[in-house]
Amino acid sequence: MKSMKRKSKTPAKESKLSNSELCKAIKKKSNIEDARIISPSDVETAVWVRLKCQFGCGGYGRSLVCPPYTPTAQQTREVLDSYSRAVLIHFTEEAQVTATIVELERDFFLRGAWKVFGIGAGSCSLCKECNLEKQQCQNPHHARPAMEACGIDVFSTVKKAGFPIEVVRTKSQCPNFYGLILVD
């Protein structure tokens, strides 16, 4: 029997963004301190991280991009292991981390990196109230979970990559902000 596959008139072009193309696109954005290409195997995941969300964050269970609605550390590890590269991005304190991550994700997708996925920082503020009852995000094109919400140990990951990070001890101390983009 003959195959019923449709032949495309234009051959599929496999687009693999180079590390320098990734970094160049990232550095065009404002409010970015630095970015480094890292191996997804260097992204630390740990079961205890979600406990810090559950017992320490007022956002637990109030948003679809926060636990318990986000992937567990084990699920996140499986996702990380399905990628060959990640970009760890250090943002300035003025940055809109998740919004910038989403913009970069879209840019990389449109350049042919169809597997790209961004992970932001902090809680979601896109909607006044999250639609938890239906468990359907009202802004799925713009909402992304924070690294911690997915069980990523940000401190260990950031230190391993050679970026600065420390515990914020006072309200006057400026924290460091990070985002992660998984890309092949």
* 10 pLDDT higher than 70: no
pLDDT tens column, 33-86: 999 999 999 999 999 999 998 998 888 989 999 999 999 999 999 999 999 999
- Taking the model in full, what pTM does it have? 0.88
Distance, first Cα to last Cα, the chain: 36
80 φψ region: left (φ > 0), alpha (ψ -120 to 50), beta (else): alpha
The domain locations on the chain are 19-166+173-183
Contacts of residue 120, defined as CB under 8 A and 6 or more positions apart, other chains included, come to: 97, 98, 101, 102, 144, 145, 146, 147, 179
